[in-house]
Amino acid sequence: MARSVFAFIALSTADGFIGVSPLVRSRGASKLGAFDPVGDELPKDGSDFKILERATSSSSLVKSTKMLVRAPEPIPTPALLTIDPVGTLIQHREPMGMFFREVLFDYSGLRLPRPDIFHDAYKMVYAEKCEEMPFFGKEAEVSSAEWWRDVVTRTYLEVGVPDDLLEEYMPEVFPELHEKVFTGAEGWELTKDADFVLGEIASWQESLGPKAPKLACVSDFDERLPLLLEGLGIRHYFDAVVTSKESASFEDPAAPFDAALTKFALTDAKGAVHVSAKIEGDIDAACAAGWQAVFVKGPPFSIPEANPTGAVYQRVGDILRFLDILGIEVDPYRPIETTRLVGIYDWDHDDPGDYQGYDGSGGGGGWEAPTIKG
């Protein structure tokens, strides 16, 4: 039986596509075949587009599931670079329902439903509220605090918390959620590569000198966003923060992007790039404003994203890959955090004996590998 060798992805620089499908080539197969998996006009000679297929012991190349995703294309240095941080740079520490449940429990001691019930209720109420009053009440002239208070109240009512108990505990529960949990590091955290990516962009900007692009946040968020970014330690990277509460318009989806250009006295939308993990109301709005756009979404690439406006954008699997589009070279030997090694890095440095692998000599080289028995 022929042995198989695995290979992975072949890029098409001419057509801007990646063939994403597992390949197993049997020994003796001379080259990858090329075919048209979705009927698009692709080169047939295998020079620019190579298909990755699954092979078996009876055939050197056997067709399997095929799909296409667009390969990222380099972008000339823009005049303005904006990022929606939610889902790209920052994320909730836990599902929203967990916070709703825990804060109410802390103040009331009530026996409450499971966190996922709270989370489902929150998602439903939030969607309804966005339909009723878009952009956190901007056009209805409602404060964002009032907007969110209604969301929190309706979420609790949806899971069955009685009115009288809500009336008793909301004066403490709502400020805890609105002003503390969801405005700082208790409810939010940086995504894995966020600080590294922002640091690389800052170094890149410095290297470009006066020609460096401005970096800003443009996000469907309320006026607490600058405070949140400050609490997470990344506000200093941004030259400006533009929120939907401040600048969005139901009649003009491109308004926040026009506002971002105005902040920097820019007029050429084609020289601006927006990065986001959301298409509807974000990537599509940036495209409508004439901007270039980059959608951040990890695999599987086979799941299509809703794109009702037909916006044309690029897609990368994570925020780190966005650096490739900007032409920023990342040190291939940089340390990459994988599994946290508790016991080596988290021992008490004031008490060397706290780590059992330390030989007690007090000098360097005093680490001992764990003994493996058996």
Q: Is the pLDDT of residue 49 over 60?
A: no
The arithmetic mean of pLDDT across residues 280-287, rounded, is 92
- Is pTM, for the whole model, over 0.85? no
> What integer is the mean pLDDT of 237-252?
91
Q: What is the C-alpha to C-alpha distance for residues 361 and 367, in angstroms, rounded to an integer?
A: 10
Helix (H) or strand (E) holding 260: helix 255-263
Classify 200 as helix, strand or coil.
Answer: helix
pLDDT digits (tens, 9 = 90+) for 65-79: 444 555 678 999 999
> Is the pLDDT confidence value at 172 over 90?
yes
Burial class (CB in 10 A: 0-12, 13-18, 19+), 338: exposed
Poorest-confidence range of 48-57, 248-257, 316-325, 331-340?
A: 48-57
DSSP state of 86: B
Q: What is the reported pLDDT for 140? A: 87
Is residue 82 helix, strand or coil?
Answer: strand
What letter represents residue 313's amino acid?
Y
Summary mean pLDDT of the chain = 78
Task: Tell me the per-residue pLDDT of 6-18, one tens digit each, with 9 for 90 and over.
Answer: 434 333 333 333 3
Per-residue pLDDT, 6? 40
Give the Cα separation of 278 and 285 in Å (integer): 10
- For the chain, percent of residues with pLDDT exceeding 90: 59
